């Protein structure tokens, strides 16, 4: 599948044949593009126009026609950044609004919004089925886990006083209100939120392929917080020496974790079983976005200060090549067609 790479300075999306590697097309994507994701059918890409809260759009790219489409206006949901495409929807963070939301391409509408109450909700991971969501909140030094509850709305039992015109019971203290009992829940379920303190500058993170752990790189502390997803707490903190960490990604087999840093020249690689550093790979003056090749053989790392994407051979853990994706490359994604 084609590789998608953003250039923040040139404000373009490059469509790249990774085998050559040849840039097939460069398409304008609007102000301050940071992250990119492709739809499940590989025909459309979505790009967050971030601007630290100055902007409120998602750029939309026709990958087949190789042209921009009408952007999605998020309104008051300013500062979109992290992106995911799960369950046929685009999921995004809105940093300035301290919220996350989902956009349904089928209806052309934002169909869900949830506040986090945390500062700089930046990156997002949506589990398969969209029943669990994890975000990192940079300035709050926290991770948020949202779990969706199931079940229809609770209605008053037969024989109870009549409710409001909407069919819901009146508020406590109002005429006809029942003296006790839980409030009604939304008809399609609700969300339970757990906020987990981690380290300062919690930004780049990933969830292990088995879904059991989330590894969070804390840029200011130089540590990695390992969160047990089931227990919803930090199980271990690694003194990883990754100051300025920007992104963290698992290899597809879950055996290694790669951490990029904009504050140093190295890509740090850790063994997930031993929790120990395996190697530091020299890249340049710093790095940002990380993406694994679908067959698990290579990783791609956006070396933003040096204006290229480094290709990492995951067998030898060495640089195997470079790709010109424009100035200040950052967000990376695959336009992989899935059933």
- Judge whether residue 325 has pLDDT over 50: yes
User: Could you tell me what percent of the chain has a pLDDT over 90?
Assistant: 85
- Judge whether residue 179 has pLDDT over 60: no
174 class by beta-carbon count within 10 Å (0-12 exposed, 13-18 middle, 19+ buried): exposed
The pLDDT mean for the chain works out to 92
Spatial separation of the C-alpha atoms in residues 155 and 164, rounded to whole Å: 12
59: pLDDT confidence band, cut at 50, 70 and 90? very high
Between 151 and 5, where is the model more confident? 5
Exposure letters 277-316 (e unless 16+ CB within 10 A, then b): beebbebbebbbbbbbbeeeebbbbbbbebbbbbbbebee
Task: Please report the DSSP string for 113-156 in residue order.
Answer: EEE--STTEEEEEE-TTSSEEEEEETTTTEEEEEEE---PPP-P
pLDDT at 150: 80
CB-based contacts of 192: which residues, under 8 Å, 6+ apart? 146, 147, 148, 149
Quick one: the chain helix, strand, coil %, rounded to 5? 5, 50, 45
pLDDT at 134: 98
- Judge whether residue 188 has pLDDT over 90: no
Cα torsion angle, 107, 110, 114, 118, sign: positive
Assess whether the previous peptide bond of 119 is cis (omega < 30° from 0).
no
- Judge whether residue 198 has pLDDT over 60: yes
Between 147 and 178, where is the model more confident? 147
- Judge whether residue 32 has pLDDT over 60: yes
pTM assigned to the model: 0.89
pLDDT at 149: 93
pLDDT by residue (tens digit) across 34-57? 999 999 999 999 999 999 999 999
User: Could you tell me what percent of the chain has a pLDDT over 70?
Assistant: 88
pLDDT by residue (tens digit) across 69-92? 999 999 999 999 999 999 999 999
Rg of the chain taking only CA atoms, in angstroms: 22
Spatial separation of the C-alpha atoms in residues 187 and 154, rounded to whole Å: 8
338: pLDDT confidence band, cut at 50, 70 and 90? confident
pLDDT at 23: 94
Cα torsion angle, 336, 65, 45, 304, sign: positive
Phi, psi angles (nearest 5°) of residue 275 = 65, 25
151 class by beta-carbon count within 10 Å (0-12 exposed, 13-18 middle, 19+ buried): exposed
Spatial separation of the C-alpha atoms in residues 76 and 54, rounded to whole Å: 11
Spatial separation of the C-alpha atoms in residues 196 and 126, rounded to whole Å: 17
pLDDT at 175: 55
Bridge partners of 101, per DSSP, are: 92, 113
pLDDT by residue (tens digit) across 91-145? 999 999 999 999 999 999 999 999 999 999 999 999 999 999 999 999 999 999 9
166: pLDDT confidence band, cut at 50, 70 and 90? very low
157: pLDDT confidence band, cut at 50, 70 and 90? low
Using alpha carbons, list the distances in angstroms from residue 173 to 27, 165, 166, 168, 179. 59, 17, 18, 15, 8
pLDDT at 152: 57
């Amino acid at each position: 599948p084609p590789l998608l790479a953003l250039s923040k300075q040139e404000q373009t999306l490059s469509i790249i044949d990774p085998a050559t590697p040849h840039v097939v097309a460069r398409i304008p994507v609007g102000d301050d593009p940071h992250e990119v994701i492709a739809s499940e059918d590989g025909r459309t890409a979505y790009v967050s126009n971030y601007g630290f809260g100055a902007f409120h759009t998602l750029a939309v790219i026709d990958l087949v026609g190789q042209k921009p489409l009408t952007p999605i206006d998020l309104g008051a949901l300013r500062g979109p950044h992290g992106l995911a495409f799960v369950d046929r929807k685009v999921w995004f963070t809105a940093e300035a609004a301290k919220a996350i939301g989902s956009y349904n391409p089928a209806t052309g509408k934002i169909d869900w919004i949830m506040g986090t109450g945390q500062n700089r909700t930046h990156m997002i991971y949506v589990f398969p089925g969209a029943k669990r969501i994890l975000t990192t909140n940079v300035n709050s030094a926290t991770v948020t886990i949202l779990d969706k509850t199931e079940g229809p709305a609770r209605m008053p039992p037969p024989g109870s006083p009549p409710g409001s015109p909407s069919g819901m019971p009146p508020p406590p203290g109002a005429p006809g209100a029942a003296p006790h009992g839980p409030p009604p829940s939304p008809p399609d379920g609700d969300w339970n939120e757990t906020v987990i303190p981690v380290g300062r500058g919690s930004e780049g993170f990933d969830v292990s392929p088995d879904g059991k752990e989330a590894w969070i790189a804390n840029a200011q502390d130089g540590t990695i917080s390992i969160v047990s997803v089931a227990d919803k707490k930090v199980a271990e903190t690694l003194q990883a020496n990754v100051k300025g960490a920007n992104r963290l990604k698992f290899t597809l087999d879950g055996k290694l974790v790669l951490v990029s840093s904009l504050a140093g020249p190295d890509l740090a690689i850790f063994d997930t079983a031993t929790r120990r550093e395996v190697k530091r790979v020299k890249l340049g003056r710093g790095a940002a976005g990380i993406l694994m090749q679908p067959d698990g053989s290579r990783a791609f790392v956006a070396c933003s200060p040096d204006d290229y994407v480094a290709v990492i051979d995951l067998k030898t853990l060495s640089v195997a090549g470079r790709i010109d994706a424009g100035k200040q490359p950052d967000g990376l994604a695959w336009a992989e067609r899935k059933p």
